[in-house]
Structure formats: C-alpha cells, structure tokens
C-alpha cells in the first residue's frame, strides 16, 4: 500500500510518523520547499495549548484533538528529544469586563476535560509570574500549557519517520492529484509522477489548491492569516516564567508573551487576514510590530528596550472558512484525504490529528493496521556545546576536535555541530542550506544575527558539499551573486548563481 | 590550569597593542583570539587611512595589522589562536578564571588581570526596526567586506546601503569599483555617519547619491531582495507619510553603526554606559570589576584604528599597575561629566595622579567651537566638530591636578563667540 | 571658464570650496585655510586617487590578495586600473609588497596581504 503525504509541515510529518508504525505501508512525504517545516510550522507562537480555549459546541473535533495532542506531546518530546517546557499559561485580565470574558475559558476547560484551570488573583498571580504587569487584577491559569521549539519538532519527527522507513522528497511540488476511474493513482509533481494508493493532503496554506486538483471541496478556500512576532535577545532580563496571554476580544485573538525554550522573550502574534492570493507575504509591518509592543506591555511589568529585539518575523496561518478544520477521507476519489485548513491549535493537535487520520485511512479504505515489531520510537537530538558543563565540553572535544572550533559566537555553536547538521540533513534527503543549518544548530539566531558567523557556516557547507561559497543556498536563493570580478569581466552569464 | 598575570581577549588592533605593551612592561601575558590569525577586522580592510597617528604612516588596514602582528611577535608574548572564551569567573578581586574552548579541549586560565578587547558587532536591520521581509541578499557591511575582500565573492550587483557609517561608505566604493551599481546610501540623520573624507572619496567620486534625512521603511522581495521602500523623515526621525518611494535593488547592505561587544563583561556584572554601549572605566580603562580592563571598540566605537591601539597600550599600563600593586591604589576618582553638545566621553573617571586622554563624540555638527574642561582651565579651539569624528583630548597630570577637590570635571563644547 | 564645487577633506570643518579655472589660472573660494586652497587646486588641476582592490589567487590559503596602486593614479584612470584586474590571477604564495601587475596608468599594483601556498 503506497501512501503519499503532501506537505512536510508539522501535520504532514506527524502523519508520516504514525503511519511508519505499521507494517506494509510504503510512505512518501513530498515537500515543495528545500527543507521540512518551512511554512506555518516554523513561524508560530510555539505553544502547546491546554485546550481550554476551544469551544466543543462549535468545534468538537478540534477541541478533542487539541486536548489529546497536549497529552501526546509529552511523550513525543521525550521520545524525540525535542526541547520543550511545561510552564502553564496565564490569561491575564485587568478589568471586570475582561475577567468576565476570561472566566468563560474556565467553563470551556470543564467541557473539554482540561484539568487544573482556575482563576488566580493578587499574590498567587504574582507568585506564579513575577514579571506580570502590576495593573493585572487576576488571570485564568491553565497549568498544562507548554512551549516547544517548533522547527526542531518538525525536524525531529521527520528524522524519526525517515529512520522508520518513510521517504522524504524535498523541492517536490504537488501539481495535481491524478485520479482514474474515481480512484487516486498518484501525484503529478515538478519532478514527475509519484504513484500512490492513498494521498493525504497536508499542504498547509496551499491545501485548498491541492484539494481542488483532486476535484473535491471546490468551495473550500484557505485564507492566509498573517501573524507577526518580536523576539528579544536571550540576554534581555525580562523572562516571564509562564506563558502570558491577553484576553481575546472580538477584535483580537490576544497576544502572547513567553520565554522560549531557547531563552528568548517572544511576543506575538498579530492576526491580519490577507487576500487569498497573498500566500507568500511574510513581511513584517511597522503597524504590526507597534501593536505587539503595546499588547506585551499590558502583560508585562516592563518590556526590554527596543535595541534588544534580535529578530522580527511573520508567519502565515491557514485560515479555513469559519475556522473549521477539514479532515475528511473521500470515497470519490477513492484514496484521497484532506487534512486541510489546520489553523490554531494545529501544532498542539498534530500528534492527535495524525493518529485520527491514520485510523480514518484504515476505516475508510478498509486497511488492517498491524503494528511493526521493529518500529523505533526514539530519535536522539544533536550534540551541543552550549548549555553543557565545561567538563562535558572538554570530553566531547577530545572525541572530536571540531567541537572545539566555535563558529557562532553568540550561540556558541561549533563546527562539529554544523557538520552533524549537514549529515542529518543528507540522511533525511534535505539539501544543506544556511537556513536549514541555522534552525538545526541555532548559528545566527543570536545577537549579531549571523554577521559574524554566516560566512563561516557557509564556508563549512561549501567545503562539505563542494559548492562554491557564493552558491551555498540561504533558503531557496544563493548566498551571494558571484565571483568578485564577474561584473568587471562584463559577462554576467559567468555568474551562474542568479 | 595555566597561570598568567594578564590575559588579553581579542587579537585585533587594541588587543595586539595591549599584549605587546604588557609583555614589554614585563608582565606574563597571554593573547587570545577566536580566529585562525591575529589582525582582527583591519585584515579585511584593503583601503588606506590606518596608522597615521600610531605608526606615523598612512597604511592600508591589512598593512596596519601586519605591523602590529610584528610588534606582538617581537614582544615574545604568548598567543593562542582559534580560542573561544566560554566564560569568565571572578574568583577574587585579583584572581579570575578564563575558560577557553580550543580544538585541544577546554583550557582554564588563572589570571590577575584581563584586558577585554573583543571589538564590536554591527547593528542589524532588526535592531533598526526596519519592517518588511527578510529575503536573501541582506548583508551587514562587515560581512559584505569580508566576502568581497577576503573570499573574492561579490554579494550582489545592485546595492542599497542602509546607513552611512564608514564601513558602508568604504563598501560603496568597493562595490562601485567592481562594477556593481550602488543605487543609494540612505541615512536617517541630517549628516553622514562616517568621515567626510569617505563621503567625498567613496560616494562623490562615484556619483553615488547620499540620501540624508531618509529611512528605509521596508525591504521587499519574495526570495531575494527586489527593492527597498525609502521615506523622508521628520525632525523626530519618524518617516513622513506620503514621501515613500521605491529603489529597485538585489542587495541591502546595512552600515548603521557598531555596538561594543560586551557580552562577557555584562555576564560578570560590569556596569555599562548607555551612551557608548561599552563598559564604564577609569583613566586606566579599568572597568567596574577590579583588574578587568577594556580597550578598542569593545570600550567605545573609535573612528580611527590608531585610537584603539592607543587604548590597548593604556589598558596594558593599567594592568601592570594593578598586578604590581595588588590592585589600583587610587582612592579619589573624579567623575567626568558630559556638558553641552557632548554625546559620550570616555573614560568616565579621572584621577590626578597621571596624564590621561579623553575620547569623546558630539551630538551634532558645529563649527568654530572650543572644546573645554572649565574645572581644569583647559580650552582648545576646533574649527569644526562632527558626530562621526572622535574628539581626543590629552590631559597632563599638572592640568588634572587642578581638579583636586572638584566633585567632577565637565567636558563641554561651546561656540567661540 | 570651468567652475566646480567640492567639499574639503583636509579637516573636519568640511568647507565647501568653489573652484573656477579661467585660462590657466585656478581660483578657490570658500576655504578657511591655506591647506584647503591647496587641496582645491590639486583637485582642480590633476585629481589623483589610490586604487585598492583584490586580485584572484591560485592555490592560496585565501582565494584573493589585496592590492593597492604603488602611487596615486589620475582619477580618470581608476576604471582602467580596475579593468586590468578583471582577468588577473596570481599563483600563491604572495608576499607583502610583491608587484602583482606592473605599469598600469603609471603605477603598479602591489600586494598588501600575505597569501600562503596550500600544498
């Protein structure tokens, strides 16, 4: 049985991982980008939601999978060595109107079976969160909220899936689902035809287009919703202990402030609905960034100075009509599934979505699932110099001197780590790029944002892959234009890179 | 565990000058640098303008670096390259541990004094608050310089430079020389951020437009930079609505100034001056942690490399006094206060025991002024002052003696009238 | 008559200088010192510049060597000097002061960086 999953975002790779648990399934994930997780999975708030913000009357499946997902992540992060913390969340209110609104979530928590959600005031609030704004009168505390490194999660799951036999094809764009006689035959891609008995559409923001090409859900359209974020330097002193959240209003979904697993204060998101065609617009705006500072200062006692902002970014979340996830298996065409419009809390729910989808495949297409005996649930994360004791650093250097060659000063990342990332990328079939390495080893995510280390990492990639320095890819584009004399030679074709 | 009297962090101009001087003064010194060679940033500077004060000769950055390397070699000071300082631990006021990562393993150094000469880093587009996308094709000026002038790589062919700091101006000329098109240099202030000599010889010579009072308000591009959006700014440096225009380009080079690299100083609790971004120091360039000295761009952003080297030597002299006397024995420190049109001044504390040098920058350009310290009855006529150009004022011990009993001395810039 | 305006770079005062050439005579206005007048004359009569760039290196520990003209060349020759480096490539090792290209616009290109040979 050949199964093709379209999209190597958090949903796609999670489905692939769960599929890899079973015998007799030949699973391929196709991804149009050069790496896994470069869509909505990379640029989000990095929260594992408790599930107390989902209304089970409006979104029963979403509510159920969110709560289940929160539970499953606790196992997954351990099995897969994904950086995660479970600090709990405080929905902070400053007025009686806000309190009334916030209290609704205590009720929703009960309906969803999310335990421990309660209102805290004054001293307890300040004990839970010393950084909370003194104007806060109380908060709804949800102790099961967590935060995770979202891009590392996708990478870890993809690595584990590949380890268990899943094939990953990057830079492979699904153009059309091929259906013959009402039955799915495969996917037409920019790299040719990929045969499949079952196709799972997990194409994120482009899932509507994929669905249309299979001839189903022609009314279904995904709207890009932009979320902008601010990240502060790890040396900024403001580090909230909990995940802080403003009370959602009819106008805003609320802004979060939290300390990421990497130790940075993260503020976001905004929520701006873009036109349907703006599926590539990940630019930040002056207006959005100002709104974030304003909202964050409502949550926090103080905000670090502007000069401590090390990065701003925006992500596009797939917003389906009425916020309804579209998870459905079709009998016409036989073998096609939509896992589409997976907006928030999609990241949280991903493991549960994966289990649900795999069951759905089995039931709809009458497949007997047999657990493989040899399935390996574990993946070990990369070795890092930063954050371990000096003795441990000394002993890894003695095994491999490349750990003693620090390339990124801000995040203290060694050459060995970059080389390991390159090997890991090759192992899962990903072309080594500067962005890919950055998100695996954190080189360039610190204060200088790569002005000291990007060329050094590029030089290591150039050597490891045999590509000239200027041609090493950043994301989809080469790092630089060409040889220094290329324009003087008056022959622009001599620079192949651009 | 290796013992020494002073460890110099950073093998650029300040660090090399410091190490050579420390060895010359008879200290048991060790010079550390991250990279595979000494020299620091000047090794990637192919243009002249280096060394006029320090060597009495106008050298290229590269030649300046070699001269200092020779000095280091002659001094016999021990040098450790490809060495990354993991952390500093202050054990006692005259005992510090410097933990160093090398390819041979972790090295632990026990030392009495430290000279911190780790240079600066460049400000990024994020720090400037420029919104928009972050496609490929965005470089800091230093990264562009390194790629072009060490590794023979041309970053792009149609360039917009954000900020008019010296490295950006120098790079504008380098791009123009290699036949790339520099579309504009965009500067938010009403005056250039770099030296006038560079404005004339790097921009005017090549007819490169310098847009003063303008800001880049957006970077646009799907995969690679396609254009930037530029707007005029008002007196508060806020973009004026309706004045936006686009400049097509494939590359953005950020030259919006440098910030002292003070990570490790902050971690051990040194006080930082918000005006310089560097540590607060006394006239021997000792920080607020006894025995930890700072020099070069890690102390204050210098316009001339000569001053960085000079500060390195001064810090070495401070370290010598510290090591010899078990700490600096001065008890009466006189704060240096910033008067009219003074944006920053280093050092922050003076004493009356020895000659000293003040380095300062002004807030805004002004012509026909006196730079003065009324308490010391020091007054110097200057035809013009500019924010881009450092003021350097040498004070003798005799002059400083007049500050005896003063609760501060004030550096101020006043019109000549 | 030929009139140009330049910014003096002799000192931070950055005077705006008006230079006019009538016949063979150069007239300078706006300078506040004699050094400025001298600068303006030089710029008006025969402006010269050093050219600094990099030249490709084969088999070196770095792929380029930095070079500078041995003496300043007339400003109008700058692009000619640059063109001469377009196809130029030298073999490592390169020593400081090594002449990389002789006799271009009355100057030579001299190495300002050491490049070791990679074996």
Does the distance separating the beta carbons of B62 and C11 come in below 8 Å? no
Q: What distance in Å separates the CA atoms of residue B362 and residue B343, rounded to the nearest whole number?
A: 5
Q: What is the pLDDT of residue C1?
A: 63
A489 inside 8 A of chain C by CB: yes
Give the closest-approach CA distance of A422 to chain C in angstroms: 24
Mean pLDDT over B82-103 rounds to 97
Does the distance separating the beta carbons of C86 and A485 come in below 8 Å? yes
Residue B6 in contact with residue B323, Cβ under 8 Å? yes
B146 inside 8 A of chain A by CB: yes
Mean pLDDT over A237-256 rounds to 90
C-alpha dist (Å) from residue A27 to A14, A22, A357, A487, B116: 12, 10, 14, 47, 56
Q: What is the CATH number of domain C52-111?
A: 3.10.530
- Taking alpha carbons only, the member of A297, A281, A275 closest to residue A230 is A297
- Domain boundaries along the sequence of chain C: 2-45, 52-111
A49, A52, A206, A262: the catalytic one is A49
Give B 372-411 residues with CB within 8 A of chain C.
382-386, 389
Domain B1-121+258-329 indexed as CATH 3.50.50.60: yes
Q: What is the CATH number of domain B124-256?
A: 3.50.50.60
Q: What is the pLDDT of residue C2?
A: 76
Residue A373 pLDDT grade (very low, low, confident, very high; cuts 50, 70, 90)? very high
- Domain boundaries along the sequence of chain B: 1-121+258-329, 124-256, 331-417
C-alpha dist (Å) from residue B144 to A480, A489, B138, B254: 9, 20, 9, 9
| Sign, CA torsion A199/A204/A208/A209 | negative
**pTM passes above 0.90:** yes
Nearest to C14 among B43, B62, B196 (CB): B196
Q: Which residue of B has its CA nearest to A492?
A: B157
B157 inside 8 A of chain A by CB: yes
Query: Taking chain C, what is the end-to-end CA distance rounded to the nearest angstrom?
Result: 61
Query: And the tokens for A35?
Result: 């790496």
pLDDT tens figures, A28-38 = 999 999 999 99
Mean pLDDT over A214-220 rounds to 97
pLDDT tens figures, C96-106 = 999 999 999 99
pLDDT tens figures, C10-22 = 877 788 899 998 8
pLDDT tens figures, B203-242 = 999 999 999 999 999 999 989 999 999 999 999 999 999 9
CB crowding C35-52: b at 16 or more within 10 Å, else e: ebbebbbebbeeebbbbb
pLDDT tens figures, A288-342 = 999 999 999 999 999 999 889 999 999 999 999 999 999 999 999 999 999 999 9
Residue A331 in contact with residue A179, Cβ under 8 Å? no
Give the closest-approach CA distance of C86 to chain A in angstroms: 5
Residue A470 in contact with residue A482, Cβ under 8 Å? yes
Q: What is the DSSP string of A143-195?
A: TT-EEE-HHHHHHHHHHHHHHTT-EEE-S--EEEEEEETTEEEEEEETTEEEE
- Taking alpha carbons only, the member of C51, C52, C53, C67 closest to residue C114 is C67
Q: Which residue of C has its CA nearest to B366?
A: C13
Residue A268 in contact with residue A45, Cβ under 8 Å? yes
Q: What distance in Å separates the CA atoms of residue A183 and residue A137, rounded to the nearest whole number?
A: 59
Give A 451-490 residues with CB within 8 A of chain B.
451-452, 454-455, 459, 469-470, 474-488, 490
Q: What is the pLDDT of residue A496?
A: 41
Mean pLDDT over B122-130 rounds to 90
**A49 a catalytic residue:** yes
Place of tokens 């000569």: B306
pLDDT tens figures, B373-410 = 999 999 999 989 999 999 999 999 999 999 988 999 99
Worst-scoring range by mean pLDDT, A250-254, B140-144, C66-70?
A250-254
Whether B1-121+258-329 and B124-256 share one fold: the answer is yes
Does the distance separating the beta carbons of C7 and B199 come in below 8 Å? yes
Residue B132 DSSP one-character state:
B
Element of type H or E holding B300: none
Average per-residue pLDDT in chain B? 96
Worst-scoring range by mean pLDDT, A120-129, A139-148, A486-495, B100-109?
A486-495
Q: What is the pLDDT of residue A495?
A: 44
B273 inside 8 A of chain A by CB: no
Give the closest-approach CA distance of B156 to chain A in angstroms: 5
B218 inside 8 A of chain A by CB: yes
């Amino acid at each position: 049985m050949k199964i093709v999953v379209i999209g190597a975002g958090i949903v796609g790779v999670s489905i692939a991982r769960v599929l890899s648990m079973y015998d007799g399934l030949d699973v391929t994930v196709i991804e149009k980008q050069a790496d896994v997780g470069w869509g909505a999975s990379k640029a989000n708030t990095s929260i594992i939601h408790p599930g107390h913000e989902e209304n089970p009357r409006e979104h029963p499946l979403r509510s159920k999978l969110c709560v289940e997902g929160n539970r499953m992540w606790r196992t997954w992060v351990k099995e897969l060595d994904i950086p995660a913390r479970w600090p709990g969340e405080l929905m902070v209110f400053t007025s009686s109107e806000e309190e009334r609104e916030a209290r609704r979530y205590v009720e929703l928590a009960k309906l969803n079976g999310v335990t421990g959600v309660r209102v805290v005031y004054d001293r307890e609030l300040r004990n839970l969160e010393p950084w909370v704004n003194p104007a806060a009168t109380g908060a709804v505390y949800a102790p099961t909220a967590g935060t995770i490194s979202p891009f590392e999660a996708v990478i870890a799951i993809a690595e584990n899936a590949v380890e268990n036999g899943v094939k990953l094809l990057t830079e492979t764009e699904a153009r059309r689902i091929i259906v013959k006689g009402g039955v799915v035959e495969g996917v037409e891609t920019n790299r040719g035809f990929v045969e499949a008995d079952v196709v799972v559409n997990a194409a994120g923001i482009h899932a509507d287009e994929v669905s249309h090409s299979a001839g189903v859900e022609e009314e279904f359209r995904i709207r890009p919703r932009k979320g902008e974020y601010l990240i502060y330097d790890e040396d900024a002193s403001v580090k909230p202990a909990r995940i802080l959240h403003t009370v959602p209003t009819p106008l805003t979904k609320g802004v979060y402030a939290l300390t990421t697993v990497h130790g940075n204060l993260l503020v976001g998101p905004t929520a701006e609905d873009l036109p349907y065609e703006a599926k590539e617009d990940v630019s930040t705006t002056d207006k959005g960034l100002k709104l974030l500072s304003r909202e964050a200062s409502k949550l926090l006692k103080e905000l670090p100075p502007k000069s401590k902002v090390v990065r701003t970014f925006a992500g596009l979340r797939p917003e389906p009509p009425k916020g309804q996830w579209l998870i459905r298996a079709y009998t016409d065409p036989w073998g096609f599934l939509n896992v589409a419009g997976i907006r928030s809390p999609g990241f949280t729910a991903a493991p549960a979505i994966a289990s649900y989808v795999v069951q759905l495949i089995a039931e709809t297409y009458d497949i007997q699932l047999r657990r493989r005996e040899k399935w390996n649930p574990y993946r070990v994360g990369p070795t890092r110099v930063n954050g371990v004791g000096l003795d441990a650093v000394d002993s890894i250097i003695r095994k491999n001197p490349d750990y003693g060659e620090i390339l990124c000063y801000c995040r203290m990342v060694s050459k060995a780590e970059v080389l390991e990332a390159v090997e890991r990328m090759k192992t899962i079939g990903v072309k080594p790029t500067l962005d890919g390495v950055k998100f695996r080893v954190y080189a360039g995510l610190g204060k200088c944002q790569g002005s000291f280390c990007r060329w050094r990492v590029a030089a290591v990639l150039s050597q490891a892959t045999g590509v000239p320095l200027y041609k090493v890819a950043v994301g989809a584009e080469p790092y630089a234009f060409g040889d220094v004399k290329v324009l003087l030679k008056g022959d622009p074709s001599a620079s192949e890179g651009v | 565990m290796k013992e020494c009297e002073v460890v110099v962090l950073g093998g650029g101009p300040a660090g090399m000058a410091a190490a050579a001087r420390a060895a010359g003064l008879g200290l048991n010194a060790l010079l550390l640098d991250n990279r595979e060679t000494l020299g620091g940033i000047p090794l990637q500077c192919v243009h002249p303008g280096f060394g006029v004060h320090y060597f009495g000769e106008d050298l290229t950055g590269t030649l300046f670096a070699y001269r200092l390397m020779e000095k280091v070699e002659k001094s016999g000071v021990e040098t450790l390259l490809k060495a990354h300082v993991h952390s500093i631990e202050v054990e006692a006021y005259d005992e510090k541990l410097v933990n160093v990562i090398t390819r041979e393993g972790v090295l632990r150094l026990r030392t009495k004094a430290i000279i911190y000469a780790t240079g600066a880093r460049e400000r990024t587009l994020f720090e400037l608050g420029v919104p928009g996308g972050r496609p490929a094709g965005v470089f800091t000026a230093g990264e562009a310089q390194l790629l072009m002038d060490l590794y023979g790589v041309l970053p792009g062919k149609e360039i917009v430079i954000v900020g008019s700091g010296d490295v950006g101006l120098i790079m504008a000329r380098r791009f123009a020389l290699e036949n790339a098109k520099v579309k504009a240099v965009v500067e938010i202030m009403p005056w250039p951020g770099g030296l006038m000599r560079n404005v004339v010889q790097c921009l005017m010579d090549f007819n490169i437009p310098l847009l003063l009072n303008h800001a880049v308000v957006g970077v646009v591009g799907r995969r690679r930079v396609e254009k930037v959006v530029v707007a005029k700014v008002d007196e508060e440096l806020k973009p004026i609505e309706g004045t936006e225009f686009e400049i097509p380009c494939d590359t953005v080079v950020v030259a919006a100034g440098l910030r002292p690299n003070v990570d490790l100083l902050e971690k051990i609790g040194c006080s930082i001056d918000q005006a310089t971004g560097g540590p607060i120091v006394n006239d021997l360039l000792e920080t607020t942690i006894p025995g930890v000295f700072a020099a070069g761009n890690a102390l204050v952003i210098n316009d001339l490399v000569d001053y960085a080297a000079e500060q390195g030597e001064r810090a070495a002299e401070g370290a010598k006094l510290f090591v010899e006397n078990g700490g600096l024995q001065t008890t009466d420190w006189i704060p240096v206060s910033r008067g009219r049109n003074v944006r920053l001044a280093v050092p922050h504390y003076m004493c009356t025991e020895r000659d000293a040098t003040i380095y300062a920058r002004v807030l805004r350009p002004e012509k026909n002024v006196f730079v003065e310290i009324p308490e010391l009855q020091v007054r110097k006529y200057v035809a013009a002052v500019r924010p881009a150009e450092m003021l350097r004022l040498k004070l003798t011990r005799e002059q400083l003696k007049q500050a005896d009993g003063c609760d501060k001395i004030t550096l101020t810039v006043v019109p000549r009238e | 008559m030929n009139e140009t305006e330049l910014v003096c770079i002799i000192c931070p005062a950055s005077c705006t200088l008006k230079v006019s050439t009538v016949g063979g005579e150069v007239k300078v206005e706006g300078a506040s010192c004699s050094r400025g007048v001298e600068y303006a004359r030089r710029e008006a009569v025969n402006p010269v510049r050093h050219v600094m760039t990099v030249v490709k290196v084969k088999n070196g520990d770095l792929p380029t060597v930095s070079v500078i003209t041995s003496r300043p060349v007339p400003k109008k020759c700058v692009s000619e000097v640059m063109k001469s480096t377009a196809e130029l490539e030298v073999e490592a090792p390169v020593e400081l002061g090594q002449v990389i290209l002789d006799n271009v616009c009355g100057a030579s290109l001299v190495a300002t960086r050491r490049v070791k040979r990679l074996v």
